[in-house]
A and B are shown apart, each in its own frame.
Chain A
Amino acid sequence: GDSVTQMEGPVTLSEEAFLTINCTYTATGYPSLFWYVQYPGEGLQLLLKATKADDKGSNKGFEATYRKETTSFHLEKGSVQVSDSAVYFCALLSGNTPLVFGKGTRLSVIA
């Protein structure tokens, strides 16, 4: 079945450091790919998405490119802030299956 694999956390970075959170997927067909962010005690917020190969999703300084050849959708940000501390979830939506999530990666940014 469809699945999403994310790098395990936690990830701890200093403010202004470069962030990469790896995400790879397995799916039949051509899925849409998403990154959601969950701040402490809150629900999931859509961070960005891409619906076809080579699309780049971006929002709030975060970017991810849909790479069909490597089945990846890695999340990147050039300079993280303390306010970016949260759990980040990669997810896919394909065909008739519901959203499939990775296990999440906890990011802590220290000043």
Chain B
Amino acid sequence: NAGVMQNPRHLVRRRGQEARLRCSPMKGHSHVYWYRQLPEEGLKFMVYLQKENIIDESGMPKERFSAEFPKEGPSILRIQQVVRGDSAAYFCASSPNWGETQYFGPGTRLLVL
């Protein structure tokens, strides 16, 4: 049973470009969570999605950031017009149901030049 998969593992963008981060949850998991980790800090919750629905986006910046989890395919975290402050590691986690243990992917490390 494959774990949570994320790609790309590393992403370099110039200021003003768009970044697209993908996450495929574990088989049988329909709940996906995105977290951001700034250097030397813990993880901060961004958004929680179920298939085709955003359940909680309280941790996601109101501008430039969006997330989706379509009926088919991976969850996507999209950052438009990236700025240097967006440089961080972005982790995706999944669980079979809300309130159950979350399993994390290897993360995407975004560097904005």
A61 is an interface residue with CB less than 8 A from chain B: no
**Given known A42-B106, A43-B107, A44-B91, contact A101–B42 (CB-CB < 8 A):** yes
> Bound state CA distance, A36 and B35, in angstroms?
14
**Given known A93-B99, A98-B33, contact A43–B91 (CB-CB < 8 A):** yes
- Majority-rule SS of A interface residues: strand
The interface bits of chain A over 71-100 (1 if a CB of B lies within 8 angstroms of the residue's CB, else 0) are 000000000000000000100010000111
> Bound state CA distance, A49 and B101, in angstroms?
9
A25 is an interface residue with CB less than 8 A from chain B: no
Number of B residues near A (Cβ < 8 Å) is 22
> Bound state CA distance, A5 and B76, in angstroms?
31
Question: A45 to chain B: closest CB distance in Å?
Answer: 7
Q: In the complex, are the beta carbons of B33 and A99 less than 8 A apart?
A: yes
Q: In the complex, are the beta carbons of B41 and A103 less than 8 A apart?
A: yes
Interface residues of B in 13-45 (CB under 8 A from A): 33, 35, 41-45
Please report A residues at the B interface, Cβ cutoff 8 Å: 32, 34, 36, 42-46, 49, 89, 93, 98-104
**Contact sample, A vs B, 27 pairs, CB 8 Å cutoff:** A32-B99, A32-B101, A34-B101, A42-B106, A43-B4, A43-B91, A43-B105, A43-B107, A44-B43, A44-B91, A44-B93, A44-B104, A45-B104, A46-B101, A46-B103, A46-B104, A89-B43, A98-B48, A98-B56, A99-B43, A99-B45, A99-B93, A99-B102, A100-B45, A103-B41, A103-B42, A104-B41
Q: Which 8 A-B pairs have the closest CB atoms?
A: A101-B42, A98-B45, A43-B106, A44-B104, A103-B42, A43-B104, A101-B43, A43-B107
